[in-house]
Structure 1
């Protein structure tokens, strides 16, 4: 009888131990290998507290990382990445537009510069052509006048009449010399480049005379400049009509005489 009781007791204890082992070692936590049960001094395995491999009810701290918010965090991360990609795309578009405008502006500047340079060259060529034409016209007029003078001398006539006669009483009209301002209106025969320096000097002297009045030194300077102009005119005597020569000489004499009067 005792043997039977012992066998039944032993059999019951085995059943209890098998039931406890199946309950406590059904799963392992995230830090313990699956189906491993450890003996913590009579206490329960950590698998009991974590419930299964994912801990606290099916995942880290319940249904996913930290309470089931991992899905929302992942979605937010994806949205942030998409927004960043969109921002980069917009920035690239803006850069391309700005670069295109810069290139277009540089092209316009280059075209404007080329057009300006072309206009300047054309203007220079045009002015050079005008000067050359004027020089040719003057040369033709001088040659024509020289031929006329030659024919007059061959016929026995003097082309210059009283060219050497004194013109001490020559004066200028108000249209030739403005008495209020001292401005000189030069005849065409004295507008050549060879008279330019003398014209500027005479105008300076008469402007000074108009503001300060007549002085001996000023009259002397006017007389000296008149002699310079007459010498230049004398060098052109063979290329001028007699009347043009006499008119130019009379104008220079008139300036010299007007420089002596108040």
Structure 2
């Protein structure tokens, strides 16, 4: 405290002691009391200083506790952030390891070629006559209208040395696509191996005119 504050506290303490002596000349309840005004002022001053010191001590402890709590909060935030990014890095590394090496350009080309339908042999689709040797599943009467239409289109194609008009090509693609959808709807009616052969045949038949 500065000098002016100390003088003010002394004045307050002295005034309080004078009042106490005037009102209770024989002390409070017969207990000990200041014998002189000066002693009362000194005791009052001591109480004021002691209270101020206690308040300063409590304020200092509170400020220290706040700093410690805030420091712990920052440490926890930093640790949580580090943990988050470490987990992300570990997850990225795990995914990369699980995915294996990235495919090369040659791998992509080979994969693309493997998805291209196989060309039909001359015994499956005769290029000279246009005759089609249907897989057993596609000889079902349920498909007869569309297979007959395709046979006519391929016969016309053979007559024109493998050439088709745009309309004929679109008709062939439409018919093979429609047959494929009907085949999917009847998947439970045929043995799996025969079903796969029929689907593969339709893909190759469409590829014949779309390539």
TM-score where L is the length of structure 1: 0.35
Structure label with greater radius of gyration: 1
Structure with more relative contact order (C-alpha pairs < 8 Å, separation 6 or more) = 2
